[in-house]
Amino acid sequence: MFITSERIILDFNKRANYEYEQAPLRIIRFHYSDRLQLSLDLTFQEAVRGCNKDINVRIVDTCPTCKGTRCAAGTQPQKCRTCNGTGMETIETGPFFMRATCRSCHGRRETIPKPCYECQGKGKTAQKKTTTIPVPAGVEDGQTMRVNLGSSEVFITFRVKASEKFRREKEDVHSEINLSIFQAILGGAIKVPGIYEDHILQIPPGTQSHQRFRLIGKGIKRLQSPGTGDHYVHVKIKVPTQLTTEQKALILSLAELDKNIDGTVNGVTQTKSGSRVINEDDYPLLKSIRQVLSNLPLGSKKVADTIEEQETDTKRNSTAKKKTKNT
């Protein structure tokens, strides 16, 4: 990806010409306001992993024609005749003599008889170049990095695009996973996408929604110190919305047995004794499910078809259990 920086590039040749007029042979120094400032767009993965990005930029570098000698082709600098190559001259002001920087060579000790046409004797020009910027792993949005390109100092500000999967907090990274209700109840394992590689996360039985798991050392590499952050995985339980008749019958049978429900459950009727029953006419599979849950072989006992019969069966089962204990 190439980043064009024409709109924020200063006219270095114009600046150099101004300084040359004020002090023709003085070493040109580009102040802070003259330094290049660029913005570089990165994806989330490029920022946390690090990468190399190519950019097009105009920088001040050694003149390609004179190779920095400031002289036209076939010529060389000459020793300053005014100061005899010392860089200093003696100036007489009335009865006093003063040593000052040579006004001819401006302290360079040499003069350029024929300046280079391209750089006008400055040895440097503004040039458009393509260069590769090494982006270190772990940079954050808004951070600025200083890079020396040729004779220019470039300040690059990173603009990191937000990720759809990850949320960053310093060196830590956060993500979400969706668990089925059965994984949450029974436990299991699930693959979690990481920033460098995928991880297998073991889910303990009874995992709750919004529970958080910590993957130590699986976060982002620290930029200015050794080590890495952590990866925090946030759980969301995915509740099924479209159930088959068999699936609904199974879940209703579990609701019939659950004693920790506050309130009511659609499809489950509360009896006078406080138990919950389901009409088997709507779910014929319930009869078989109840027999399996009661550890009874099919056909060994008639299961109540109505709420009233269910209450009678419940009382009869309680009496039978008491007799068994007494025996």
Residues 203, 182 share a domain: yes
Residues 320, 187 share a domain: no
Q: What is the residue whose two structure tokens read 């400055």?
A: 122
Residues 124, 49 share a domain: yes
Out of 213, 238, 263, pick the residue that ends a domain. Answer: 238
Out of 126, 160, 194, pick the residue that ends a domain. Answer: 160
Q: What is the pLDDT of residue 22?
A: 39
**pLDDT at 187 > cutoff 80:** yes
8 Å CB contact between 249 and 285: yes
- What span, in angstroms and rounded, lies between the C-alpha atoms of 16 and 32? 15
8 Å CB contact between 81 and 102: no
Q: pLDDT, tens digit, for every residue of 289-308?
A: 766 666 644 444 433 444 44
Residues 310, 215 share a domain: no
The percent of residues in the chain predicted with pLDDT above 70, rounded, is 69
Domain coverage including residue 186: 167-238
Q: What is the pLDDT of residue 128?
A: 82
The b/e string for 99-136 (b: 16+ C-beta within 10 A; e otherwise) is: eeebebbbbbbbbbeebbeebbbbbbbbbeeeeebebe
**pLDDT at 161 > cutoff 80:** yes
What letter represents residue 327's amino acid?
T
Q: State the DSSP code for 325.
A: H
Q: pLDDT, tens digit, for every residue of 53-88?
A: 888 887 778 888 888 888 888 888 888 888 888 888
Q: What is the pLDDT of residue 115?
A: 87
33 occurs within a structural domain: yes
Q: What is the CATH number of the domain that holds 218?
A: 2.60.260.20
Distances (CA, A) of 168 to 162, 229, 321: 9, 10, 59
Residues 152, 117 share a domain: yes
**217: Cα within 13 Å, side-chain hemisphere:** 2
213 occurs within a structural domain: yes
Confidence band, pLDDT 50/70/90 cuts, at residue 130: confident
Strands 199-203 and 152-160: unpaired
Out of 179, 207, 238, pick the residue that ends a domain. Answer: 238
290 occurs within a structural domain: yes
> In 3-state terms, what secondary structure has residue 217?
coil
Confidence band, pLDDT 50/70/90 cuts, at residue 6: very low
Average confidence score pLDDT of the chain: 74
Confidence band, pLDDT 50/70/90 cuts, at residue 319: low
- What span, in angstroms and rounded, lies between the C-alpha atoms of 252 and 276? 10
**pLDDT at 21 > cutoff 50:** no
Q: What's the structural domain count of the chain?
A: 3
What letter represents residue 238's amino acid?
K
286 occurs within a structural domain: yes
102 occurs within a structural domain: no
178 occurs within a structural domain: yes
40 occurs within a structural domain: yes
